[in-house]
Structure 1
């Protein structure tokens, strides 16, 4: 598994114990060399003898009492500030985010134009003809491809099928419910189908085995395992990687019996014509644009935008489901950022594919 690291999230947590005890017991919380050591209450001291534990076990002097009290008050102040921040975030989430945006940063520590770490793994499903798993931050999506033989469509007798389907089960987020696909899942499936068509990802004529008689249909099942925003970007990456990983057996039609004969010993990779990659943006307060939004940022934004480009810097698709209007200048800025993102993801995909070949 390899990853494309744009930036790491910054998450600082501190713990606070109870008040210190005196006598032959040792302090609940002792700060030594920038490490917080939490000890038990009225327990026998640990056998490990280190400078930190020696301080914890030594009888308290007046100076030590003052030091522990000072540190206790300082830590208590930090805890209170964290509690107040958490309360502010819950009560006024939009104002909470605005307080960060004013400083050109975000609550998770990223700058406005930074993507979360992107991780890619291929051949994730052994029973599929091709598969991949992608993580963008916490958002995790897996894709499995199953190939079946069928008759070509009557309106395109020399072409095969590519059928994408995006599934958003309840396990990925509490916002989704069991049952038929919801509106967001259906919209994502249609968007992926449009990207496949507009980007010329695969030449469907190569999926045809014999005109008007036999062709391949590729069922591309994309399932979200953990939803934290930016679903479309993850779906495009995982589909591209799974298609590059897919292998189809050789199929011929017996002239005497007119039946298909499949040779599973001879398999070939699909020919990928283009490498589309999506970049998603959200707009805050009708003016501030940030990339790779989390689920919370998406819910608080005034508009969403996804730009898809290929490796030749061609614009393949622009998806903007309503919301705040965007000036031509800002749209061009988003397209330029999407072109850069395409190069980053293309390198990641090629590196993972190459590493798999080396492993074999």
Structure 2
């Protein structure tokens, strides 16, 4: 009977749980799914990380290549993110050019990189006006189950912290780059932004870490990105139900506490890799 009711009236079925301050999967409204992080699993990349947020799984691989610096900023390099949503991760996606959701996610990640200043692009310059690094950050969703943005931001930060770049010098005689693969250094990751997403139901209930089903039933979505200092980097609210100033502040406070949880997990994982 319950299964039939859920199929016929999924939102009403869900509301019965919300009134009890819980969800069908057993979580309370402010509880995140189990988060796991693995780094360095792609040996052909210069940095990589795999993040699981419940069933939602995203892998990030970073490749560093040489390029000419921007003409208007000769002392900087580039960071180029791209989010890929293939049919492999969900039947809702199709093969071919990136769909709207993938494009929105890629732009969101690019905005987070800019607003949070994860790394200084000046650190990617090898020789001003001549040679810089470009970091291609490919984020591939392996299993889609809601809250894609949180998983992507976490995978990006973990992968950036895993990056090791070789020592490079420009030969004065030939003008060519001389690469020392035996001498690699980590990136100077200045900030570690964390994304926290919420779903709104009927302007009354706010839940964290929505699943794909919860996102489809919600009347509004909200994503808050904070940095190590508890400062806001980005707020994204793509329409839907409005939020009062009080409820928005509650979401921001939860995002700040979530940042501490994810940062502690990141530090623990990277420390264990370093000591292996």
Same fold (TM over 0.5): yes
In the alignment of these two chains, the number of paired residues is 276
Query: Is structure 2 residue 53 aligned with structure 1 residue 153?
Result: no
Give the alignment of 1:60-139 within 5 angstroms: 84-139=1-56
Partner residue in 1 for 2:229: 312
* 1:200 maps onto 2:117 in alignment: yes
Deviation at 1:251, TM superposition (A): 0.6
Residues 1:143 and 2:60 aligned together:
yes
More RCO (CA 8 Å, sep 6+): 2
Question: What is the root-mean-square deviation of aligned Cα atoms in Å?
Answer: 0.6
Match of 2:91 among 169, 174, 183: 174
Structure 2, unaligned runs of 5 or more: none
1:218 is paired with a residue whose SS is strand
> 2:140: which partner in 1?
223
Residues 1-360 of structure 1 aligned to structure 2 (within 5 Å)? 84-359=1-276
Q: Which runs of 5+ in 1 are unaligned?
A: 1-83
Cα distance, 1:155 vs. partner? 1.4
TM-score, structure 2 as length reference: 0.99
**1:242 counterpart SS class:** helix
**Superposed displacement of residue 85, structure 1:** 1.1
Mapped to 1, the partners of 2:274 and 2:66 lie a distance apart of 28
Per-residue deviation, 1:278: 0.5
Q: Take 1:115 and 1:187, find their aligned partners in 2: how far apart are those partners?
A: 23
Q: Distance in 1 between matches of 2:169 and 2:258?
A: 41
CA distance in 1, matches of 2:2, 2:116: 45
Q: Which residue of 2 aligns with 1:19?
A: none
- Separation in structure 1 between the aligned mates of residue 180 and residue 48 of structure 2, nearest angstrom: 21
For residue 296 of structure 1, report the CA deviation from its aligned partner: 0.5
Q: Distance in 2 between matches of 1:265 and 1:190?
A: 35
Structure 1 consecutive aligned stretches of length 4 or more whose deviation exceeds 2 Å: none
